[in-house]
Amino acid sequence: MNDLPRITPRQLSLRNGSDKPEVWICYQGIVYDVTNSRLWHTGKHYEHWAGQDLTAELKDAPHTTSVFERVPVVGRLVEEGS
């Protein structure tokens, strides 16, 4: 995983469905591109918003983490200045 591109929280936040054409989400430190998912086309999926780390929110999701196997990995989330 260390060979993945490094994505800062700021870069992630800009991929929220309105600031840039890409729609990204993060789960357990990995950033995923959900741009082509019909469930995320507006940058929102039920009560979840794109452009942020959804790790804490997804513990109550009705699906398993296997949903992440269907979307491309963009990079890994790192702290600003890392």
pLDDT in tens, 25-54: 999 999 999 999 988 888 888 788 899 999
d(CA 82, CA 64): 30
pLDDT of residue 29: 95
Does 82 fall in a domain? no
DSSP bridge partners of 7: 77
In terms of pTM, does the model score above 0.75? yes
Please state the domain count of the chain.
1
Residue 59, CA distances (Å) to 4, 63, 65 in order:
25, 9, 9
pLDDT of residue 46: 77
Structural domain range at position 28 = 6-77
Does 68 fall in a domain? yes
Neighbours of 5 (CB within 10 A): 11
pLDDT of residue 31: 97
CATH number of the domain encompassing residue 31 = 3.10.120.10
d(CA 69, CA 4): 16
